[in-house]
Amino acid sequence: MTLIIDITPPVRQGMAVFPGDAHFKSANTFEISEDCPVNVAEFSMSCHCGAHADAPLHYDRKGISVDQLDLTDFVGPARVIDARGPEALCSPDMLRASLADRPLRVLLRLADRIDPMVWPEGFRAVSPESMTLLADHGVKLIGVDVPSVDPETSKKLPSHEIARSRDLRILENLALSAVEPGDYELIALPMKLEGLDAAPVRAILRPL
């Protein structure tokens, strides 16, 4: 049986979200009883809750929505790189040694561990120079284990801007603390949410 490594944090009531964003909520629509044979639940949340894929529409008024993304970008070989460090931004120097023969997808471990119930204030993000370096090496998808490739206080989103200009795909809020650096098969398909700027993914890795 092929080993599956789940890199999707749980989505649950009370989970942390970007300050001001919509929280996850759920309720029971139907419950099993003498008069009802099934349980049915409903939920609402931000498109950016938990592990998710950003669409260009998230950072570009004229960008395509998440249902228009090419799914092949989200399936295939991926390299997990341990890019932890004390600086606020992951610099190109942290990545260069790990880019030889890299696949089209790179997942960056930036945090020691993320508690999905606690907002990671001051989380480490990715410098625009690092985004450019990865794009220059042919990388198509960049994933991180923090809420954004840009710092939480950023207003200009320079790393998202590199993603826009270089047509990169972004995965955020992955759970990478238990994953050893190396090459894997990534499967992280976004929900087909028509016209929206992001979508949840159930992201997994499988050893190559």
Other C-beta atoms lying within 10 Å of the C-beta of residue 177: 13
Per annotation, catalytic residue among 23, 58, 137, 160: 58
Question: Tens of pLDDT along 13-24?
Answer: 999 999 999 999
Domains of the chain are 5-207 (3.50.30.50)
pLDDT over 70 at 1, yes or no = no
137 labelled catalytic = no
Give the CA angle between residues 65, 183, 81 to the nearest 5°.
Answer: 75
pLDDT digits (tens, 9 = 90+) for 84-97: 999 999 999 999 99
Cβ density class 96-106: b for 16+ within 10 Å, e for less? eebbeebbbbb
What global pTM score does this model have?
Answer: 0.96
